[in-house]
Amino acid sequence: MNFLPVFLDLKNRSCAVIGGGEVASRKATLLLEAGAQVTVYAPTAGETIRRWAADGKVRHVKQEFRPEMLDGCVLVIAATDDKSVNRQVSDAAKARNIPVNVVDQPDLCTFIMPSIIDRSPVIVAVSTGGSSPVLARLIRARLETLIPAGYGRLAKLVVKFRDRVKQRFSHPPRRRQFWEEVLQGPIAELVYSGQDAAAEKALQRRIEAVDGSQAPVGEVYLVGGGPGDPDLLTFRALHLMQQADVVVYDRLVSPAVLSLIRRDAERIYAGKERDNHAIPQEDINHLLVRLAKEGKQVVRLKGGDPFIFGRGGEEIDTLAAEGIPFQVVPGITAAAGCAAYAGIPLTHRDYAQSVVFVTGHLQDGTVNLNWKALVQPNQTIVFYMGLHGIDTICRELIRHGMPSSTLAALVQQGTTRNQRVLTGDLETLPSIVDQAHVKAPTLIIVGDVVELHGRLKWFEPTAAN
């Protein structure tokens, strides 16, 4: 992050606005709405500032800027049309360790004024770090349509009953689950429809009806995290990641996807690399059982899809045997995601009418695959975890009848800003891996469809978000 988003308590605190025009009045409006005591420093002022000063809303000092004007202030905004004055304000504020914002000059700012959605006490702030106020405004407009006006009243209802709920529920996870049910159910809908009194009565009845001492019931959600791009997550996956108490995640889950986990959720790394398992699979199975029996909502987050070479079946088999409730949320598997972002259709009427997914994970230097079944005309083969055994894979495919000139592609870190796509054939692929220093995670695609990469590639990693 270029800026840390914070919310300042400015009630009855001194803030200075340098400049008296309409831009200055707009900034002063925000400070006044936050309860600040605002002093405007400007030799002349526009109609809005003059009217506020006459009404006693602000203090207007008709003087040119001097650094000592900032003494005692907790926040400063410079909104003049004189760049030299704005710079003086910035320098003086920084010398006094006072947060300063200079309108339309982010290089002189120590904080950025965001685009604001006000549902007090719920406040949403959107910022582009000063790079594009128009984009921030467009994002805010989009969010305005998603956040009902009743959110503010709903938050006030929560505040009113917060202590009572805290006393009722001895288990913090159960308390959080209670509020999630309330804030997404009929009580919230009563507030949105303006029936605040009915919502209050319904919430009181709900509190009295539940057994707050009862330990929460845990559940495990086996969630596919997709191939790397967070925009490829399903809505269901994101929802569960946001409400989980604990997330057990794999090495192939991208940092961008991990950043979407609920901030205060516990995170447990259970990644696996070849010959280096952070937690053995059997221990992971029992870990999920233990966490659920503690009453926690557990997300088991896997790269790609949990049922395609993700060992998800083994994990839910253990959960079922232990009587632990579970759900499975599919994800876009690496084959689909990486191939799409590489511009390589896995099937095509002119090139391939079938596709097969194969694990290339080697044990004891051998691959136990049905090579004859793989060496079929008009078929695309996608190898997962095949990088270490690339020599064996290419050799065996050729030995069982596949032409050495058969096209193949390596897609490293597909769908992410670090994506690399390298193409060759079965003869050259092993040397490409060595010479280009290809590293895991890399998907191997073998078949005539690779020819389409040159024409259909569309994703430019450097242009990724």
Listed range (185-194, 229-238, 423-432) with the worst mean pLDDT: 185-194
d(C-alpha 262, C-alpha 364), whole Å = 41
Q: Are the C-beta atoms of 231 and 257 separated by less than 8 Å?
A: no
Q: In this model, does residue 259 exceed pLDDT 70?
A: yes
**Enzyme catalytic residues:** 250, 272
Q: In this model, does residue 291 exceed pLDDT 80?
A: yes
Output the pLDDT for position 212. Answer: 66
Output the pLDDT for position 137. Answer: 87
Q: Are the C-beta atoms of 445 and 397 separated by less than 8 Å?
A: no
- Residue 272: beta bridge partners? 277
Max mean pLDDT among 205-219, 366-380, 427-441 falls in 427-441
Q: In this model, does residue 281 exceed pLDDT 90?
A: no
d(C-alpha 128, C-alpha 3), whole Å = 9
d(C-alpha 75, C-alpha 98), whole Å = 6
Q: What is the mean pLDDT of the chain?
A: 91
pTM score, whole prediction: 0.70
pLDDT digits (tens, 9 = 90+) for 103-139: 989 899 999 888 889 988 999 999 988 788 889 889 9
- How many other C-beta atoms can be found within 10 angstroms of the C-beta atom of residue 396? 18
Mean pLDDT of 49-54: 96
**Residue whose C-alpha is closest to residue 356's, from 375, 381, 373, 385:** 381
* First vs last C-alpha separation in the chain: 14
pLDDT digits (tens, 9 = 90+) for 342-381: 999 999 999 999 999 998 865 555 667 899 999 999 999 9
**Apex CA 150: angle with CA 147 and CA 153, to 5°?**
130
Q: In this model, does residue 463 exceed pLDDT 50?
A: no
Sheet holding 266-269: strands in order across?
266-269, 246-249, 297-302, 219-224, 326-329
Q: In this model, does residue 454 exceed pLDDT 50?
A: yes
